[in-house]
Amino acid sequence: MQKKTSQFKSLLHSPDVQFLMEAHNGLSAKIVEEAGFKGIWGSGLAISAALGVRDNNEASWTQVLDVVEFMSDASSIPIMLDADTGYGNFNNVRRLVRKLEQRGVGAVCIEDKLFPKNNSLLDDARQPLEAIDVFAGKIKAAKDTQQDEDFCVIARIEAFIAKWGLGEALKRAEAYHKAGADALLIHSKLSTAEEILAFMNEWQDTCPIVVVPTKYYTTPTSVFQEAGISLVIWANQLLRSSVAAMQKTAAIIHEQQSLLGVEKEITPVKEVFRLQNTDELKKAEERYLPPT
């Protein structure tokens, strides 16, 4: 099996548009892989929400690292971790990259905002941007630190989110590409792909482009392919579907004071055991424990 870093790099450079699906713990990472996806988006929003905190760096970077380690152990496809701003300056980014490589994470994405960040989809949130040269330094530090040549560093441009416009987005794209980014993530929260397509129209196609169509979800995938986008991230749909399922189950059990109304609707315990790879332990017991 190819290294996760190499798997990710191939995805990024595939001629066809490719996809990452969000996961936020070991179980969801495994579900993403079983669904047939070739890569995982370790979403900061989904990981923090699953931990019961806000997407404002309330979970510490080592707490995120622990979650992503479980995700990595539970899957054999690469994870691209959403590492927000890199949790500090260039030096924090260097340590982060070392730890991600040690834990089998295929790629990291850092965004050009200030720590602690606000989620990009929040209405009316402050979205101050990092100075271009400071952020370019973080990208350079990440690239200089990686030991595995296939480890990818993705620079995320928040110029549209901060309402600084296309000119600023292109200026930042150029600077981050020059600093050594393996790909650029250009984010937008409009309900159409207008900003993204305007960016693609001007971008000289010097490195792969990644997008997150959470808000412009009605855009057909063929539009992304035709625009030359390399990677599309489905950023939070597993977290959101699990929230709806849990709320429904909890309400029914609370209302009916019984399990009768849900048992047939929910995943059998047997399926949970399968996802945990329980059979493997049974076989290992036969091999390593004395016979009973």
Applying CB under 5 A, the span of 20-28, 82-90, 163-171, 212-220 interacting with Mg ion comes to 82-90
The CA-atom distances, in angstroms, between 281 and each of 27, 168, 284, 288 are 17, 54, 5, 10
106 binds ligand SPV (CB under 6 A): no
Nearest approach in angstroms of CB 24 to Mg ion is 11
Residue 121 binding partner per list Mg ion, ligand SPV, none, with a CB distance cut-off of 5 to 8 Å that depends on partner kind? ligand SPV
Parallel, antiparallel or unpaired: strands 40-42 and 18-23:
parallel
From the list 120, 219, 230, 242, which residue makes contact with ligand SPV (rule: CB under 6 A)? 120
Size of the site for ligand SPV (CB under 6 A): 11
Please give the Cα distance from 209 to 182 (Å, whole number): 9
214 binds ligand SPV (CB under 6 A): yes
121 binds ligand SPV (CB under 6 A): yes
Nearest approach in angstroms of CB 137 to ligand SPV is 21
86 binds Mg ion (CB under 5 A): no
Identified catalytic residue from 55, 82, 112, 150: 55
Nearest approach in angstroms of CB 233 to ligand SPV is 7
112 binds ligand SPV (CB under 6 A): no
Site pattern 216..255 for ligand SPV (x: CB under 6 A)? -------------------xx-------------------
The CA-atom distances, in angstroms, between 79 and each of 7, 12, 64, 69, 259 are 10, 12, 13, 10, 37
Given the complex with ligand SPV, which of 237 and 249 has the nearer CB atom? 237
User: Among candidates 53, 55, 67, which has minimal Cα distance to 24?
Assistant: 67
**Which residues from 16-45 bind ligand SPV, rule CB under 6 A?**
43-45
Given the complex with ligand SPV, which of 9 and 187 has the nearer CB atom? 187
212 binds ligand SPV (CB under 6 A): yes
From the list 6, 10, 119, 249, which residue makes contact with ligand SPV (rule: CB under 6 A)? 119
**What token pair was written down for 96?**
């982060």
Instruction: Tell me if residue 123 is catalytic.
Output: no
User: Among candidates 113, 154, 155, which has minimal Cα distance to 130?
Assistant: 113
From the list 26, 42, 44, 208, which residue makes contact with Mg ion (rule: CB under 5 A)? 44
CA 116 to chain centre: 18
Contact assessment for residue 103 and residue 65, using Cβ atoms and an 8 Å cutoff: yes
Residue 26 binding partner per list Mg ion, ligand SPV, none, with a CB distance cut-off of 5 to 8 Å that depends on partner kind? none
Q: State the residue for tokens 């995320």.
A: 156
Nearest approach in angstroms of CB 243 to Mg ion is 17
**Which residues from 70-89 bind ligand SPV, rule CB under 6 A?**
82
Active site residues: 55
Binding interface with Mg ion (CB under 5 A): 44, 82
Binding interface with ligand SPV (CB under 6 A): 43-45, 82, 119-121, 212, 214, 235-236
